Amino acid sequence: MKIEAAGPDRITWQDHHGPVLSSQNGYDVITCAACGFAHAVPLPPPEELSAEYSERYYRDEKPTYLSHAREDQAWARLSQDDRLDVLERLLPSSRRRLIDIGCGPGFFLQTACARGWQGEGLEPSQQASDHARSLGLRVHQGFFSAERAGTLGRFDVVHMNNVLEHVPDPLTLLKAAYDLLEPGGFLVVGVPNDFSPLQIAAAAQGLPHWWVAPPHHLNYFDFSSLSAVLERLGFVLRERQTSFPMEMFLLMGENYTAEPALGRACHTRRKRFDLALAETGLNEVRQHFYRVLADAGLGREAIIFAGRP
Ligand SMILES: [Zn+2]
Protein backbone atom coordinates (compact mmCIF):
# COMPACT_ATOMS: atom_id res chain seq x y z
CA MET A 1 0.00 0.00 0.00
CA LYS A 2 1.28 3.42 -0.94
CA ILE A 3 -0.15 6.78 0.07
CA GLU A 4 1.32 9.82 -1.61
CA ALA A 5 1.67 13.37 -0.40
CA ALA A 6 1.04 12.80 3.29
CA GLY A 7 2.96 15.90 4.29
CA PRO A 8 4.90 18.94 3.17
CA ASP A 9 8.01 16.84 2.67
CA ARG A 10 6.02 14.42 0.46
CA ILE A 11 6.30 11.63 2.97
CA THR A 12 5.10 8.40 1.41
CA TRP A 13 3.69 5.36 3.09
CA GLN A 14 6.99 3.49 2.85
CA ASP A 15 8.67 6.26 4.84
CA HIS A 16 6.40 5.88 7.87
CA HIS A 17 8.24 3.59 10.23
CA GLY A 18 8.85 3.17 13.93
CA PRO A 19 8.00 0.99 16.91
CA VAL A 20 4.33 -0.02 17.36
CA LEU A 21 2.81 1.56 20.47
CA SER A 22 -0.66 0.10 20.16
CA SER A 23 -2.98 -1.77 17.77
CA GLN A 24 -6.71 -1.23 17.37
CA ASN A 25 -9.44 -1.65 14.69
CA GLY A 26 -6.95 -3.04 12.15
CA TYR A 27 -4.51 -0.13 12.56
CA ASP A 28 -1.14 0.08 14.26
CA VAL A 29 -0.11 3.27 16.03
CA ILE A 30 3.60 3.82 15.51
CA THR A 31 6.08 6.39 16.80
CA CYS A 32 6.96 7.58 13.33
CA ALA A 33 10.57 8.57 12.85
CA ALA A 34 9.78 10.40 9.57
CA CYS A 35 6.88 12.49 10.94
CA GLY A 36 8.19 13.05 14.47
CA PHE A 37 4.93 12.04 16.20
CA ALA A 38 2.84 8.92 16.74
CA HIS A 39 0.19 8.09 14.16
CA ALA A 40 -1.93 5.26 12.79
CA VAL A 41 -0.91 3.18 9.79
CA PRO A 42 -2.20 2.62 7.22
CA LEU A 43 -3.58 6.15 6.75
CA PRO A 44 -7.13 6.01 5.35
CA PRO A 45 -7.72 7.67 1.95
CA PRO A 46 -8.75 11.37 2.20
CA GLU A 47 -12.10 10.82 0.40
CA GLU A 48 -13.22 8.44 3.17
CA LEU A 49 -12.55 11.13 5.77
CA SER A 50 -14.31 13.78 3.74
CA ALA A 51 -17.70 12.01 3.92
CA GLU A 52 -17.08 11.19 7.57
CA TYR A 53 -16.54 14.76 8.76
CA SER A 54 -18.90 16.62 6.44
CA GLU A 55 -21.95 14.46 7.19
CA ARG A 56 -21.58 11.58 9.58
CA TYR A 57 -19.39 12.70 12.47
CA TYR A 58 -21.79 14.79 14.57
CA ARG A 59 -24.75 12.60 13.58
CA ASP A 60 -23.31 9.11 14.24
CA GLU A 61 -20.19 9.50 16.34
CA LYS A 62 -21.11 12.47 18.47
CA PRO A 63 -24.93 12.47 18.67
CA THR A 64 -24.89 14.01 22.18
CA TYR A 65 -22.12 16.50 21.42
CA LEU A 66 -24.29 19.55 20.78
CA SER A 67 -26.57 19.07 23.79
CA HIS A 68 -23.57 18.41 26.07
CA ALA A 69 -21.67 21.37 24.63
CA ARG A 70 -24.63 23.67 25.36
CA GLU A 71 -24.93 22.26 28.88
CA ASP A 72 -21.15 22.65 29.41
CA GLN A 73 -20.77 26.16 28.06
CA ALA A 74 -20.60 27.98 31.45
CA TRP A 75 -17.64 25.74 32.33
CA ALA A 76 -16.09 25.65 28.83
CA ARG A 77 -16.13 29.44 28.87
CA LEU A 78 -13.33 29.30 31.49
CA SER A 79 -10.82 27.68 29.12
CA GLN A 80 -12.03 29.82 26.20
CA ASP A 81 -11.33 32.92 28.29
CA ASP A 82 -7.97 31.47 29.42
CA ARG A 83 -6.85 31.25 25.77
CA LEU A 84 -8.11 34.72 24.92
CA ASP A 85 -6.46 36.17 28.06
CA VAL A 86 -3.07 34.90 26.82
CA LEU A 87 -3.64 36.18 23.28
CA GLU A 88 -4.76 39.61 24.50
CA ARG A 89 -1.56 39.79 26.59
CA LEU A 90 0.69 38.68 23.69
CA LEU A 91 -0.84 40.94 21.01
CA PRO A 92 -1.52 44.70 20.93
CA SER A 93 -5.21 45.65 21.05
CA SER A 94 -5.11 46.69 17.37
CA ARG A 95 -4.53 43.05 16.37
CA ARG A 96 -7.77 41.14 16.85
CA ARG A 97 -8.39 39.23 13.58
CA LEU A 98 -8.96 35.57 14.38
CA ILE A 99 -9.92 32.45 12.46
CA ASP A 100 -11.09 29.28 14.18
CA ILE A 101 -10.21 26.28 12.00
CA GLY A 102 -12.58 23.41 12.85
CA CYS A 103 -14.78 25.76 14.86
CA GLY A 104 -17.42 23.06 15.55
CA PRO A 105 -20.69 24.53 16.87
CA GLY A 106 -19.00 27.91 17.34
CA PHE A 107 -18.81 28.38 21.10
CA PHE A 108 -15.15 29.50 21.23
CA LEU A 109 -15.76 31.88 18.34
CA GLN A 110 -18.83 33.29 20.08
CA THR A 111 -16.78 33.99 23.22
CA ALA A 112 -14.01 35.62 21.17
CA CYS A 113 -16.45 37.87 19.26
CA ALA A 114 -18.15 38.87 22.53
CA ARG A 115 -14.73 40.05 23.75
CA GLY A 116 -14.30 42.26 20.70
CA TRP A 117 -12.39 39.94 18.34
CA GLN A 118 -13.17 40.02 14.62
CA GLY A 119 -13.64 36.28 14.32
CA GLU A 120 -14.63 33.85 11.62
CA GLY A 121 -14.66 30.08 11.36
CA LEU A 122 -14.13 27.17 9.01
CA GLU A 123 -15.88 23.89 9.76
CA PRO A 124 -16.45 20.76 7.63
CA SER A 125 -19.57 19.48 9.40
CA GLN A 126 -22.89 20.74 8.01
CA GLN A 127 -24.68 20.38 11.38
CA ALA A 128 -21.94 22.11 13.36
CA SER A 129 -21.49 24.99 10.89
CA ASP A 130 -25.28 25.51 10.75
CA HIS A 131 -25.29 25.76 14.52
CA ALA A 132 -22.42 28.26 14.52
CA ARG A 133 -24.23 30.41 11.94
CA SER A 134 -27.40 30.30 14.07
CA LEU A 135 -25.33 32.07 16.75
CA GLY A 136 -24.78 34.90 14.27
CA LEU A 137 -21.18 33.90 13.49
CA ARG A 138 -19.39 34.13 10.16
CA VAL A 139 -18.56 30.51 9.30
CA HIS A 140 -17.45 28.92 6.03
CA GLN A 141 -18.32 25.26 5.57
CA GLY A 142 -15.48 23.13 4.31
CA PHE A 143 -12.17 21.42 4.98
CA PHE A 144 -8.97 23.25 5.72
CA SER A 145 -6.17 22.68 3.21
CA ALA A 146 -3.24 24.60 1.75
CA GLU A 147 -5.49 25.48 -1.22
CA ARG A 148 -8.34 26.69 0.99
CA ALA A 149 -5.91 28.73 3.11
CA GLY A 150 -5.09 30.81 0.03
CA THR A 151 -8.72 32.03 -0.14
CA LEU A 152 -9.18 32.99 3.51
CA GLY A 153 -6.99 36.08 3.98
CA ARG A 154 -4.50 36.76 6.77
CA PHE A 155 -5.04 36.73 10.51
CA ASP A 156 -3.44 37.71 13.80
CA VAL A 157 -4.56 34.44 15.40
CA VAL A 158 -5.28 30.98 14.03
CA HIS A 159 -7.11 28.80 16.56
CA MET A 160 -7.10 25.07 15.79
CA ASN A 161 -8.53 22.90 18.54
CA ASN A 162 -9.12 19.14 18.24
CA VAL A 163 -8.32 19.09 14.53
CA LEU A 164 -4.84 17.62 14.12
CA GLU A 165 -5.65 14.27 15.70
CA HIS A 166 -8.25 13.64 12.96
CA VAL A 167 -6.40 14.49 9.74
CA PRO A 168 -4.07 12.36 7.57
CA ASP A 169 -1.67 15.27 6.94
CA PRO A 170 -1.22 17.36 10.11
CA LEU A 171 2.12 18.79 8.93
CA THR A 172 0.53 20.22 5.77
CA LEU A 173 -2.23 21.83 7.84
CA LEU A 174 0.21 23.35 10.32
CA LYS A 175 2.23 24.78 7.46
CA ALA A 176 -0.97 26.23 5.95
CA ALA A 177 -1.84 27.72 9.36
CA TYR A 178 1.60 29.36 9.45
CA ASP A 179 0.91 30.91 6.03
CA LEU A 180 -2.45 32.29 7.27
CA LEU A 181 -0.71 34.27 10.00
CA GLU A 182 0.55 37.83 9.74
CA PRO A 183 4.12 38.16 11.03
CA GLY A 184 3.99 38.39 14.83
CA GLY A 185 0.68 36.46 14.90
CA PHE A 186 -0.07 33.34 16.93
CA LEU A 187 -1.32 29.84 16.34
CA VAL A 188 -3.18 28.28 19.26
CA VAL A 189 -3.21 24.57 18.72
CA GLY A 190 -4.90 22.03 20.99
CA VAL A 191 -4.82 18.25 20.73
CA PRO A 192 -5.40 15.37 23.17
CA ASN A 193 -2.25 14.79 25.24
CA ASP A 194 -1.82 11.10 24.39
CA PHE A 195 0.46 8.35 25.69
CA SER A 196 0.92 10.68 28.67
CA PRO A 197 2.62 9.36 31.82
CA LEU A 198 -0.75 9.10 33.63
CA GLN A 199 -2.28 7.12 30.74
CA ILE A 200 0.72 4.79 30.73
CA ALA A 201 0.31 4.32 34.52
CA ALA A 202 -3.41 3.52 34.09
CA ALA A 203 -2.60 1.08 31.29
CA ALA A 204 -0.04 -0.59 33.58
CA GLN A 205 -2.92 -1.16 36.04
CA GLY A 206 -4.60 -3.33 33.41
CA LEU A 207 -6.72 -0.84 31.46
CA PRO A 208 -6.72 -1.02 27.65
CA HIS A 209 -5.43 1.91 25.56
CA TRP A 210 -8.86 3.63 25.59
CA TRP A 211 -7.45 6.80 23.98
CA VAL A 212 -6.38 4.93 20.84
CA ALA A 213 -9.28 5.30 18.41
CA PRO A 214 -8.36 4.94 14.73
CA PRO A 215 -9.63 5.91 12.22
CA HIS A 216 -11.27 8.82 14.14
CA HIS A 217 -8.00 9.63 15.80
CA LEU A 218 -5.12 9.15 13.39
CA ASN A 219 -2.43 11.16 15.19
CA TYR A 220 -1.30 10.94 18.81
CA PHE A 221 0.64 13.98 19.98
CA ASP A 222 1.97 14.93 23.38
CA PHE A 223 3.53 18.23 24.46
CA SER A 224 7.00 17.25 23.35
CA SER A 225 6.15 15.88 19.89
CA LEU A 226 3.78 18.79 19.17
CA SER A 227 6.44 21.29 20.29
CA ALA A 228 9.09 19.68 18.11
CA VAL A 229 6.84 19.66 15.03
CA LEU A 230 5.90 23.33 15.51
CA GLU A 231 9.55 24.37 15.91
CA ARG A 232 10.50 22.37 12.82
CA LEU A 233 7.96 24.43 10.83
CA GLY A 234 9.43 27.74 12.04
CA PHE A 235 7.05 28.60 14.90
CA VAL A 236 8.40 30.10 18.14
CA LEU A 237 6.83 28.48 21.20
CA ARG A 238 5.42 30.85 23.81
CA GLU A 239 3.08 29.20 26.32
CA ARG A 240 1.35 25.97 27.24
CA GLN A 241 -2.03 25.21 28.75
CA THR A 242 -3.92 22.05 29.55
CA SER A 243 -7.13 20.77 31.11
CA PHE A 244 -7.88 18.48 34.07
CA PRO A 245 -5.93 15.18 33.96
CA MET A 246 -8.94 12.89 33.62
CA GLU A 247 -6.66 9.84 34.03
CA MET A 248 -6.51 10.69 37.75
CA PHE A 249 -10.02 9.26 38.09
CA LEU A 250 -8.82 5.98 36.56
CA LEU A 251 -5.80 5.86 38.85
CA MET A 252 -8.13 6.40 41.82
CA GLY A 253 -10.18 3.36 40.76
CA GLU A 254 -13.01 4.99 38.78
CA ASN A 255 -12.91 3.18 35.45
CA TYR A 256 -15.00 5.56 33.38
CA THR A 257 -13.64 4.07 30.13
CA ALA A 258 -15.96 1.10 30.60
CA GLU A 259 -19.10 3.11 31.48
CA PRO A 260 -20.30 6.23 29.64
CA ALA A 261 -22.52 7.25 32.60
CA LEU A 262 -19.52 7.18 34.93
CA GLY A 263 -17.56 9.15 32.34
CA ARG A 264 -20.20 11.88 32.43
CA ALA A 265 -20.14 11.80 36.26
CA CYS A 266 -16.33 12.23 36.33
CA HIS A 267 -16.67 15.05 33.81
CA THR A 268 -19.21 16.75 36.14
CA ARG A 269 -16.69 16.52 39.01
CA ARG A 270 -13.89 18.15 37.06
CA LYS A 271 -16.25 20.90 35.97
CA ARG A 272 -17.15 21.46 39.64
CA PHE A 273 -13.44 21.67 40.51
CA ASP A 274 -12.77 24.34 37.85
CA LEU A 275 -15.94 26.32 38.60
CA ALA A 276 -15.33 26.21 42.38
CA LEU A 277 -11.96 27.91 41.92
CA ALA A 278 -13.40 30.46 39.50
CA GLU A 279 -16.37 31.26 41.76
CA THR A 280 -14.01 31.77 44.72
CA GLY A 281 -12.09 34.40 42.75
CA LEU A 282 -9.14 32.02 42.35
CA ASN A 283 -9.00 32.05 38.56
CA GLU A 284 -5.31 32.89 38.62
CA VAL A 285 -4.63 29.92 40.89
CA ARG A 286 -6.57 27.66 38.49
CA GLN A 287 -4.67 29.01 35.49
CA HIS A 288 -1.35 28.57 37.30
CA PHE A 289 -2.28 25.01 38.31
CA TYR A 290 -2.89 24.03 34.68
CA ARG A 291 0.22 25.84 33.44
CA VAL A 292 2.37 23.88 35.90
CA LEU A 293 0.73 20.61 34.84
CA ALA A 294 1.32 21.48 31.18
CA ASP A 295 4.97 22.27 31.88
CA ALA A 296 5.25 18.79 33.43
CA GLY A 297 3.73 17.24 30.26
CA LEU A 298 0.51 16.34 32.13
CA GLY A 299 -3.18 17.18 31.67
CA ARG A 300 -5.76 15.81 29.23
CA GLU A 301 -4.97 18.26 26.42
CA ALA A 302 -1.78 19.70 24.99
CA ILE A 303 -2.44 23.34 24.09
CA ILE A 304 0.43 25.38 22.69
CA PHE A 305 0.68 29.06 21.76
CA ALA A 306 3.15 29.31 18.90
CA GLY A 307 4.18 32.54 17.20
CA ARG A 308 5.05 33.29 13.59
CA PRO A 309 8.21 35.43 13.72
ZN1 LIG B 1 4.84 9.11 9.64
State the pLDDT at residue 58: 67
- Rounded CA separation 17/30 (Å): 7
Question: Rounded to the nearest whole angstrom, what is the distance from the C-alpha of residue 181 to the centroid of ligand 1?
Answer: 26
Instruction: Give 42 Cα–ligand 1 centroid separation in angstroms.
Output: 10
Q: Residue 47 has what pLDDT?
A: 75
Q: Which pLDDT tens digit goes with each residue over 27-75?
A: 999 999 999 999 999 988 877 777 777 767 666 656 677 888 888 999 9
- Domains in the chain: ranges and CATH: 46-307 (3.40.50.150)
pLDDT band at 7 (very low <50, low <70, confident <90, very high): very low
**In angstroms, what is the span from residue 195 Cα to ligand 1's centroid?**
17
Span 241-256, pLDDT tens digits: 999 999 999 999 999 9
Q: What φ, ψ does residue 140 adopt, rounded to 5°?
A: -95, 135
Q: Which amino acid, residue 89?
A: R
C-alpha 24/C-alpha 287 separation (Å) is 35
Residues of the chain above pLDDT 70, percent? 93
pLDDT of residue 4: 41
State yes or no: pLDDT of 220 exceeds 90: yes
Q: Mark the residues whose beta carbon lies below 5 A from ion ligand 1.
A: 16, 32, 34-35
DSSP SS3 for 106: coil
